[in-house]
């Protein structure tokens, strides 16, 4: 068994133009001050990283790593959640997702998609230059508007969507394979890959591509009422990243999984700061330890109630207290009799 690394924190929800979140140096110092050992970088945040420069220059990447090291922090990996989302966008979401893209490609879905693919390939090169073994992203969506089968879906609609999704991702995953880096897709409602079944549909069309992996986040599974512990049993060989995020689901006579368009604070299912929700993290950390997960435990903070600073401050010790330093010997070794094969045969009555 192996001990995972952490605690780390995903900076997507914290980045901004105000100190300490507006530079890699100051945000690294802030994270270290809270007890984090790693930071996961949102690659679209120009205050923290120039993705094109990172793809082109190992020297620049070494400088980024050195800046964090000076603060006592490691960079765990890069995130391209926003760019990955734009690899596949249903027209219904064109305007809503346009803000994720560079200004020069907004309003032009074809140019936006090409830009997103190029961003992903830059991220692969940057990951190689930084020596990362994993990367986290979203796969995007063509079929999600048809999630509920009313009106009745025409035959082949979902299959065509997944065929196209895999076609778009295959060259990107090949680029990450060249870089020696896995892509952990966050399995998430709003993406075509939102549960185990849809992940399998995607993976099958990619012919089991070795770089098609999972960024495990139990919060999205709890809100779907999916068994997030059995998910680990089924897919542990494909889990390359771990977002530690809490959630709760409290259905009422008025709301269930869909929550009637209520705002986050009033939904039956909502994300919470670590320890405030219903996710059984003791069981999750135990299962991941049993399956030799050795990468990072990364806080993704999202809560409609608690202030982010409080969530960040509480998150590091919460994760540290859940990481299992795996044992190197059995608890009952003290009682070992030191028998050998001959003794074993005698004990079993075998001559």
228-267 pLDDT tens trace: 999 999 999 999 999 999 999 999 999 999 999 999 999 9
What was the pLDDT predicted at 333? Answer: 62
**Banded model confidence at residue 43, pLDDT cuts 50, 70, 90:** very high
Assign residue 227 the CATH number of its domain.
3.20.20.150
For the chain, the domain total comes to 1
What was the pLDDT predicted at 344? Answer: 86
pLDDT at 82 over 80: yes
What was the pLDDT predicted at 343? Answer: 83
Q: What is the pLDDT of residues 97-107, one digit of tens each?
A: 999 999 999 99
Q: What is the mean pLDDT of residues 193-208?
A: 98
What was the pLDDT predicted at 131? Answer: 98
Q: What is the 3-state secondary structure (H, E, C) of the chain?
A: CCCCEEEEEECCCCCCCCCCCCCHHHHHHHHHHCCCCEEEEECCCCCCCCHHHHHHCHHHHHHHHHHHHHCCCEEEEEEEHHHHHCCCECHHHHHHHHHHCCHHHCCCHHHHHHHHHHHHHHHHHHHHHHCCCEEEECCCECCHHHCCCCCCCCCCHHHHHHHHHHHHHHHHHHHHHHCCCEEEEECCECECCCCHHHHHHHHHHCCCCCCEEEEECHHHHHHHCCCHHHHHHHHHHHEEEEEECEEEECCCCCCCCCHHHCCHHHCCEEEECCCCCCCCHHHHHHHHHHCCCCCEEEECCCCCCCCHHHHHHHHHHHHHHHCCCCCCCCCCHHHCCCCCHHHHHHHCCCC
Share of the chain above pLDDT 70, in %: 97
When the pLDDT of each residue in the chain is averaged and rounded to a whole number, the result is 96
**Banded model confidence at residue 292, pLDDT cuts 50, 70, 90:** very high
Domain that holds residue 281: 5-347
Q: What is the pLDDT of residues 157-197, one digit of tens each?
A: 999 999 999 999 999 999 999 999 999 999 999 999 999 99
Q: How many residues in total does the chain contain?
A: 351
């Amino acid at each position: 068994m192996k001990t995972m690394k952490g605690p780390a924190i995903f900076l997507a929800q914290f980045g901004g133009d105000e100190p300490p979140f507006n530079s890699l140096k100051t945000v690294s110092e802030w994270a270290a001050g809270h007890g984090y050992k790693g930071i996961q970088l949102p690659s679209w945040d120009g205050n923290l990283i120039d993705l094109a420069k990172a793809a082109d220059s190992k020297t620049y990447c070494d400088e980024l790593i050195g800046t964090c090291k000076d603060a006592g922090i490691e960079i765990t990996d890069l995130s391209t959640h926003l760019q990955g989302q734009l690899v596949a966008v249903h027209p219904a979401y064109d305007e809503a997702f346009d803000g994720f893209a560079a200004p020069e490609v907004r309003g032009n879905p074809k140019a936006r998609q090409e830009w997103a693919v190029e961003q992903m390939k830059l991220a692969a090169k940057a990951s190689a230059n930084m020596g990362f073994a994993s990367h986290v992203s979203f796969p995007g969506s063509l079929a999600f508007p048809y999630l509920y089968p009313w009106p009745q879906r025409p035959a082949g609609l979902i299959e065509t969507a997944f065929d196209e999704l895999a076609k778009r991702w295959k060259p990107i995953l090949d680029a990450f394979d060249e870089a020696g880096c896995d892509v952990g897709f966050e399995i998430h409602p709003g993406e075509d890959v939102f549960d185990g079944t849809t992940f399998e549909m995607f993976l099958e069309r990619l012919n089991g591509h070795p770089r098609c992996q999972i960024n495990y986040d139990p919060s999205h599974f709890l809100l779907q009422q999916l068994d997030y512990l059995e998910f680990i049993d089924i897919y542990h060989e494909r889990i390359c990243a771990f977002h530690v995020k809490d959630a709760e689901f409290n259905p009422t006579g008025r709301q269930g999984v869909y929550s009637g368009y209520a705002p986050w604070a009033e939904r039956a299912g909502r994300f919470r700061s670590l320890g405030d929700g219903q996710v059984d993290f003791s069981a999750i950390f135990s299962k991941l330890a049993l399956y030799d997960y050795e990468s990072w435990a990364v806080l993704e903070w999202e809560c409609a109630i608690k202030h982010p600073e409080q969530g960040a401050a509480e998150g590091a010790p919460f994760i540290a207290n859940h990481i299992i330093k795996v044992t190197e010997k059995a608890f009952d070794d003290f009682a070992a009799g030191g028998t050998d094969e001959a003794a074993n045969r005698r004990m079993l009555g075998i001559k």
